[in-house]
Structure 1
């Protein structure tokens, strides 16, 4: 992506003027995305909007001119923001308006898209609903899990989704079935512009002691083999067919590889970490370097699992490796 025009949130907010009358959510110009992403790196969002609830989100989108770009982010755990920042509006669902998770019957959990995955696992445990232990080890929100078909420990989100509520760019409500989400490995085929607001998830009755034991296994595995206390975005690359990304990264000699303040973790080499002062440029350059070296060693073209958004800073463009 080429460098964007200079970020000027105050000017954009002034331009929108009375269009936003009645909007109840929080609007922040020139919002620092490095305070949101778990990498703690990247440029600002021109405007950051946190809607009060689903109706407020719909009203905002109806009022927003069609030519202003909209970017959706979650809690920032699987996100790399480039140093040039993000033009237009970044929407981040608030915990207050979208963060609840509740068991609505013996096998169903209704969760807001901003609910942390771990919160859903905890609600399932309390209600005696099995099938959600894997969320205990995923450091993200349910909205991101829906978009990325997040999975771990042999289970994926698509196995649990019953129906999803979403708002489109024009502020219209959609209710999608599991089939309409178009799931594949770490991917949903649902329209990119849809903003997921809540989901009904289906499990099965289970003994709480068994659920707790499985959650403890997930937690132990995560703390043992993943750099959970570092500034990281989780798994950097998707697993290729027939092998694991970390094995190929290790084979290519990239365990511990550093560029600037960015490093492939010594503990789990498919985790990229900010050692202290990494920029978005450092992190993305490291990822593309790893892709090139893995391809040279094994002929495997790794695909990013971390979502990269925004514009490059002038003179700091990262050229994607083309195998």
Structure 2
């Protein structure tokens, strides 16, 4: 069921949560399938999916949204595990109104839904160095802001000037790099904030050298990661003083499987769906890896993949 109507009165009442949604210019969809858009290709539906038209539409919608309705934000779902029962409440997914990328001097103004790779490519073409690392992160700028995404020696904390967001109350917000409170794979901003854009700064450089560095990153990813599999990227954060993949390997988990969920043989900090895995299978496998790593090393691995939603009915998890 899709509703793009501008007012509540123009939508037929169905007894579904979508009946309680505020007026908006974007698109509202009831029971929106999520498995087809996640990289794992698993998970239940979003109770309501909201695709805002622009930041103002998002702000107005959140300001009017009843406070008892939970809000979840997803991007391209590259580092996300949606549980089999789906996501209750409203799931927000930014689209075309949040994908602009504008280069000026040594800075880029980007929308939160812009793909990291596209931002790196525009920076390359504009001769802006220092943002090549984004080409190694398979996601969007919004996700990279939320988790201080990084790869190949750099992270968002190294490039961010400021970030724009909308609060759960609909307030327009702006954060400096210092106000983001970046730490390893984390930003200390309220969970209810929805990032809408950012300003990034690199340094003027040679486009050919930038292109060479991006090619190196692409080659390293292809050689070391199962990028053609149904995966969710790095599963666990690197603990202080350790590499997660080494701990997993030493615990004998390379190739370990539960159903069609498997620890990648190529890079054992990646879980892969070999075809018919459920979200429950993947999460159970990740928890088993954590158990074995703790048993063999005393180190507790923390999930890097974001797990959202509820288990399917009858699933003990």
The TM-score range, normalised by the shorter chain, is over 0.9
Q: Whole-Å Cα distance in 1 between the matches of residues 311 and 158 of structure 2?
A: 37
Match of 1:28 in 2: 29
Q: Deviations over 1:177-217 (max 9, x none)?
A: 00110000000001111100000001001111111111011
Match of 1:52 in 2: 53
Q: Whole-Å Cα distance in 2 between the matches of residues 203 and 114 of structure 1?
A: 20
Are 1:10 and 1:29, in contact at CA under 8 Å, matched by a contact in 2?
no
Q: Whole-Å Cα distance in 2 between the matches of residues 130 and 10 of structure 1?
A: 53
Match of 1:296 in 2: 295
Q: Deviations over 1:88-143 (max 9, x none)?
A: 1000001x10011110x211001100000000100100000000111111100000
Match of 2:40 in 1: 39
Match of 1:66 in 2: 67
Superposed, which structure 2 residues align to 1:129-208 within 5 Å?
129-208=128-207
Q: Deviations over 1:261-303 (max 9, x none)?
A: 1111011010101110111100000000000001111111000
Are 1:166 and 1:197, in contact at CA under 8 Å, matched by a contact in 2?
yes
Q: Alpha-carbon deviation of 1:24?
A: 1.2
Q: State the secondary structure of the residue aligned to 1:40.
A: coil
Q: Whole-Å Cα distance in 2 between the matches of residues 141 and 203 of structure 1?
A: 18
Match of 2:245 in 1: 246
Q: Whole-Å Cα distance in 2 between the matches of residues 112 and 282 of structure 1?
A: 34
Q: Whole-Å Cα distance in 2 between the matches of residues 228 and 220 of structure 1?
A: 11
Match of 1:98 in 2: 98
Q: Whole-Å Cα distance in 2 between the matches of residues 109 and 317 of structure 1?
A: 46
Q: Whole-Å Cα distance in 2 between the matches of residues 202 and 158 of structure 1?
A: 11
Match of 2:273 in 1: 274
Residue 218 in 1 paired to residue 223 in 2?
A: no
Q: Alpha-carbon deviation of 1:163?
A: 0.7
Q: Whole-Å Cα distance in 1 between the matches of residues 39 and 129 of structure 2?
A: 29
Give the TM-score, by structure 2 length. 0.94
Are 1:117 and 1:135, in contact at CA under 8 Å, matched by a contact in 2?
yes
Q: CA RMSD in A?
A: 1.1
Q: Whole-Å Cα distance in 2 between the matches of residues 10 and 198 of structure 1?
A: 35
Q: Alpha-carbon deviation of 1:85?
A: 1.1
Q: Alpha-carbon deviation of 1:228?
A: 0.5
**Structure 1: gaps spanning 5 or more residues:** 1-8, 319-323
Q: Whole-Å Cα distance in 2 between the matches of residues 207 and 262 of structure 1?
A: 43
Q: Whole-Å Cα distance in 2 between the matches of residues 10 and 165 of structure 1?
A: 35
Q: Deviations over 1:145-204 (max 9, x none)?
A: 000000000001111010111000111101110011000000000111110000000100
Q: Whole-Å Cα distance in 1 between the matches of residues 100 and 248 of structure 2?
A: 38
How many pairs were matched up?
A: 304
Q: Alpha-carbon deviation of 1:10?
A: 6.2
Are 1:98 and 1:197, in contact at CA under 8 Å, matched by a contact in 2?
yes
Are 1:10 and 1:30, in contact at CA under 8 Å, matched by a contact in 2?
no
Q: Whole-Å Cα distance in 1 between the matches of residues 93 and 316 of structure 2?
A: 26
Residue 311 in 1 paired to residue 310 in 2?
A: yes
Give the alignment partner of residue 14 of structure 1, picking from 13, 16, 19: 19
